[in-house]
Amino acid sequence: MRGNLFNYLKNNILKTVLLFLMALLLSEACRPTSAIARPERVMQQDTTPTILFLNYLFKQDTLNPQKRVQVNLLSHSTAQGKLKPALAVQPGEDARFWVCLKDAKGQVLQRIPLDNPLVQNLEYLGEDNQFARKTIQMAQWPVTVRLQFLPGTRRITLETGTSTQKASILNTFKIE
C-alpha cells in the first residue's frame, strides 16, 4: 500500500513539473523575438542591416487617362538582414516604374527599377505541345517590393517614367 502511494505521488509530481515546463516553453516560444523588429525602432537604427518590405496595390486609373496607373501603399514591414545586390538595368533598357530611396534633402540614394505589374507575361504549353507566350493586361495587381534600407533614408517614392523623362511621383512613404 505504501509503495502504491509513493508511486502515485511521484507520478503526480512528475506530471505537474512536466506541465510547468511545457507552459514555460510555450510562453517563451510565443514571446516576440528581436529577429523581427518593429519598423519605427529599426528605421531609427542606421547601423543594423534592415530589409524593408513595401506592399503596393497597382490599379488602372480609369478616371484620369493621363495618369493611367493609381498606386496605394497597403502596408510595410521590416526584418533584420541583407539582400543580395540587385541586377543593374542594362544600357538601353528602361523600367516603367522606379522605387527611389531619398535622404532628407530629396537627393536620391538608390533607384531601383520595377517592371509594370499590370502587364503580366505568361508562358504556357500550347495545344501543339510547344511553349507559347501571352501578355495579359490586369486591372489591378498587388506587388511586394523588397529594399535594403540605407542609412540616411527619410523618404521612399514610387515614380513613373524613363530615365530620360522627368519622373512623376505616384506614391511617397515617409520615414520619421
Check residue 31 and give its pLDDT. 55
Check residue 55 and give its pLDDT. 92
pLDDT in tens, the chain (176 residues): 566 666 776 677 767 766 666 665 566 655 554 333 334 444 444 578 889 898 999 898 777 655 678 888 888 888 999 888 766 655 445 557 888 889 989 898 888 888 888 888 889 888 898 999 999 888 899 999 898 888 888 998 888 876 566 677 777 878 76
Which residue, 32, 108, 43, 105, is CA-closest to 76? 43
**Is residue 98 within 8 Å of residue 114, measured between CB atoms?**
yes
**Is residue 54 within 8 Å of residue 175, measured between CB atoms?**
no
Give SS3 for 104.
Answer: coil
Q: For residues 3 and 6, what is the distance between their CA atoms, to the nearest angstrom?
A: 5
Q: For residues 152 and 175, what is the distance between their CA atoms, to the nearest angstrom?
A: 10
Fold of 39-174: Immunoglobulin-like (2.60.40)
The structural domains of the chain, with segments of one domain joined by +, span 39-174
Check residue 33 and give its pLDDT. 45
